[in-house]
Structure 1
Amino acid sequence: MACLAFPTTSLNLHEFDTNTTRKSTEEWLFSYLKSPRTPIQLKTLHAQIIKTGLTRNDLVFGQFFLCCSPSNSMHYARRIFDGIPRPKLFFYNAMIKGYSETGAHEEALRLYSLMRSQSIACDSFTFPVVLRSASTLGRVSVGEELHGLVMKTCFDSRVIVQTALIDMYCNCGFSFNGRLIFDRMRDKDVICWNTMIAGYVKCEEFSNARELFDQMPVRNISSWNTLVDMCCKCGDLDTARRLFDEMPERDVISWNAMISGYAKMGECEAARRFFDEMPKRNVVSWNVVITCYVHNRLFLEALELFRMMQVSDIKPNEVTVVAVLPACAHLGALDLGQWVHAYIGKSRIKMDVYVNTALVEMYGKCGNLGEARRVFDDASEKDTFLCSTMVEVLAMHGNAEEAFGIFADMRSAGIKPNDITFVGLLKACSHVGLVNTGVEYFKVMREEFGLIPKVEHFGCMVDLLGRSGRLEQACELIKSMPMEPHPIVWGALLSACRIHGNVKLAEEVALRLIEIEPRDCGNYVLLSNIFSKAGRWDEAAKLRKMMRDKGIMKKPGCSSIEMNNGVYEFFAGDRAHPRCKEIYEMLNQMATRLKRKGYVPETSSALQNVSMDEKEQVLLYHSEKLALAFGLLSTDNGTPIRIVKNLRVCDDCHLFMKMVSKYYNRQMIVRDCNRFHHFSEGSCSCLDYW
Structure 2
Amino acid sequence: MACLSPSMVSLPQPHSLEDPNSFQKLIEDWLFCSLKSPKTLPQLKSFHAQTIKTGLMANDLVSGQLLLCCSLSYSMHYARQIFDAIPRPKLFFYNAMIKGYSETGAHHEALRLYSIMRARSVPCDSFTFPVVLRSASTLARIDVGEELHGLVTKTGFDSKVIVQTALIDMYCACGLSDCGRLVFDRIRDRDVICWNTMVAGYVKCGNFSSASQLFDLMPKKNISSWNTLIDMYCKCGNIDRARRLFDEMPERDFISWNALLSGYAKVGQCEAARKLFDEMPQRNVVSWNVVITCYVHNRRFAEALELFRMMQVTDIKPNEVTVVAVLPACAHLGALDLGQWVNTFIHRHQIKMDVYVNTALIDMYGKCGALEDAQRVFDEAIKKDTFLCSTMIEVLAMHGKAEAAFRVFTYMTSIGIKPNDVTFVGLLKACSHAGLVDIGRKYFEMMTAEFGLMPKMEHFGCMVDLLSRAGLLEEAHELVKSMPIEPHPIVWATLLSSCRIHHNVKLAEEVALQLIELEPQSCENYVLLSNIYSQAGRWHEAAKLRKKMKERGVIKKPGCSSIEVNNDVYEFFAGDRDHPRCKEIYEMLNQMASRLKTEGYVPQLSSALHDVDLDGKEQTLMYHSEKLAVAFGLLSTQHGTPIRIVKNLRVCDDCHLFMKIVSKYYKRPIIARDCNRFHHFSDGSCSCSDYW
Quick check: TM above 0.5? yes
Match of 1:515 in 2: 517
1:209–1:541 CA distance, 2 compared to 1 (3 A): same
For 1:650, give the aligned amino acid. C
Q: Does 1:426 align with 2:428?
A: yes
Match of 1:157 in 2: 159
1:441–1:515 CA distance, 2 compared to 1 (3 A): same
Q: CA deviation at 1:88?
A: 4.6
Q: Does 1:365 align with 2:367?
A: yes
- Correspondent of 1:636 among 621, 638, 652: 638
For 1:212, give the aligned amino acid. L
Q: Give CA-to-partner distance per residue, 1:264-312, whole Å, 9 cap, x none.
A: 2221211221111111222222222222222222222222222222222
**SS at structure 2 position matched to 1:402:** helix
User: How far apart, in 2, do the equivalents of 1:334 and 1:78 lie?
Assistant: 49
Q: Give CA-to-partner distance per residue, 1:446-498, whole Å, 9 cap, x none.
A: 33333222222221111111111111111221222222222112111111111
Q: Does 1:401 align with 2:403?
A: yes
**SS at structure 2 position matched to 1:13:** coil
Q: CA deviation at 1:357?
A: 2.5
User: How far apart, in 1, do the equivalents of 2:69 and 2:581 lie?
Assistant: 58
What pairs with 1:235-314 in structure 2 (closer than 5 Å)?
Answer: 235-314=237-316
**SS at structure 1 position matched to 2:406:** helix
For 2:172, give the aligned amino acid. C
Deviates more, 1:648-657 or 1:182-191: 648-657
User: How far apart, in 1, do the equivalents of 2:631 and 2:104 lie?
Assistant: 52
Deviates more, 1:602-611 or 1:495-504: 602-611
1:212–1:378 CA distance, 2 compared to 1 (3 A): same
Q: Does 1:672 align with 2:674?
A: yes
**SS at structure 1 position matched to 2:376:** helix
User: How far apart, in 2, do the equivalents of 1:621 and 1:39 lie?
Assistant: 67
Match of 1:465 in 2: 467
User: How far apart, in 2, do the equivalents of 1:401 and 1:279 lie?
Assistant: 54
Choose 1 or 2 for highest CA Rg. 2
Q: Does 1:655 align with 2:657?
A: yes
Match of 2:19 in 1: none
1:638–1:122 CA distance, 2 compared to 1 (3 A): farther
**SS at structure 1 position matched to 2:563:** strand
User: How far apart, in 2, do the equivalents of 1:227 and 1:624 lie?
Assistant: 51
Q: Does 1:568 align with 2:570?
A: yes
Q: Does 1:480 align with 2:496?
A: no
Show structure 2 runs of 5+ residues with no match.
16-22
Q: Give CA-to-partner distance per residue, 1:128-181, whole Å, 9 cap, x none.
A: 222222212222222222222323333222211111111111111111111111
Q: Give CA-to-partner distance per residue, 1:177-212, whole Å, 9 cap, x none.
A: 111111111221101001101111111112211221
User: How far apart, in 2, do the equivalents of 1:641 and 1:42 lie?
Assistant: 56
For 2:511, give the aligned amino acid. V
What pairs with 1:345-384 in structure 2 (closer than 5 Å)?
Answer: 345-384=347-386
Q: Give CA-to-partner distance per residue, 1:219-254, whole Å, 9 cap, x none.
A: 111111112222222222222222222111122211
User: How far apart, in 2, do the equivalents of 1:339 and 1:50 lie?
Assistant: 52
- Correspondent of 1:100 among 95, 99, 102: 102
Identity %: 76
For 1:174, give the aligned amino acid. L
Match of 1:228 in 2: 230
User: How far apart, in 1, do the equivalents of 2:80 and 2:490 lie?
Assistant: 55
* Contact 2:496–2:512 under 8 Å retained in 1: yes
* Contact 1:109–1:130 under 8 Å retained in 2: yes
For 2:333, give the aligned amino acid. L
For 2:340, give the aligned amino acid. Q
For 1:634, give the aligned amino acid. S
What pairs with 1:163-202 in structure 2 (closer than 5 Å)?
Answer: 163-202=165-204
**SS at structure 2 position matched to 1:163:** helix
Match of 1:5 in 2: none
1:446–1:16 CA distance, 2 compared to 1 (3 A): closer
1:113–1:286 CA distance, 2 compared to 1 (3 A): farther
User: How far apart, in 2, do the equivalents of 1:68 and 1:582 lie?
Assistant: 68
* Contact 1:11–1:41 under 8 Å retained in 2: no
**SS at structure 2 position matched to 1:665:** coil
Q: Give CA-to-partner distance per residue, 1:568-590, whole Å, 9 cap, x none.
A: 32222223333333333333333
**SS at structure 2 position matched to 1:240:** helix
Q: CA deviation at 1:67?
A: 4.3
**SS at structure 1 position matched to 2:633:** helix
Q: CA deviation at 1:336?
A: 3.0
Q: CA deviation at 1:33?
A: 4.2
1:627–1:125 CA distance, 2 compared to 1 (3 A): farther
User: How far apart, in 2, do the equivalents of 1:86 and 1:642 lie?
Assistant: 70
Deviates more, 1:190-199 or 1:610-619: 610-619
Match of 1:13 in 2: 8
* Contact 2:9–2:46 under 8 Å retained in 1: no
**SS at structure 2 position matched to 1:588:** helix
Deviates more, 1:511-520 or 1:288-297: 288-297
- Correspondent of 2:609 among 607, 610, 623: 607
Q: CA deviation at 1:361?
A: 1.9
Q: CA deviation at 1:61?
A: 4.6
User: How far apart, in 2, do the equivalents of 1:405 and 1:454 lie?
Assistant: 24
1:344–1:416 CA distance, 2 compared to 1 (3 A): same
For 1:13, give the aligned amino acid. M
Deviates more, 1:61-70 or 1:478-487: 61-70
User: How far apart, in 2, do the equivalents of 1:630 and 1:50 lie?
Assistant: 75
Show structure 1 runs of 5+ residues with no match.
1-9
1:113–1:349 CA distance, 2 compared to 1 (3 A): farther
* Contact 2:327–2:361 under 8 Å retained in 1: yes
User: How far apart, in 2, do the equivalents of 1:455 and 1:81 lie?
Assistant: 56
- Correspondent of 1:327 among 319, 329, 339: 329
**SS at structure 2 position matched to 1:570:** strand
Match of 1:410 in 2: 412
1:237–1:107 CA distance, 2 compared to 1 (3 A): same
Q: CA deviation at 1:57?
A: 4.8
**SS at structure 1 position matched to 2:451:** coil
Q: Give CA-to-partner distance per residue, 1:327-379, whole Å, 9 cap, x none.
A: 22222223333333344445444443333332322222222222323333333
> RMSD between aligned alpha carbons?
2.7
Q: Does 1:685 align with 2:680?
A: no
Match of 1:209 in 2: 211
Match of 1:4 in 2: none
Q: Does 1:109 align with 2:104?
A: no
- Correspondent of 1:497 among 479, 495, 499: 499
TM-score w.r.t. the length of structure 1 is 0.91
User: How far apart, in 2, do the equivalents of 1:343 and 1:48 lie?
Assistant: 43
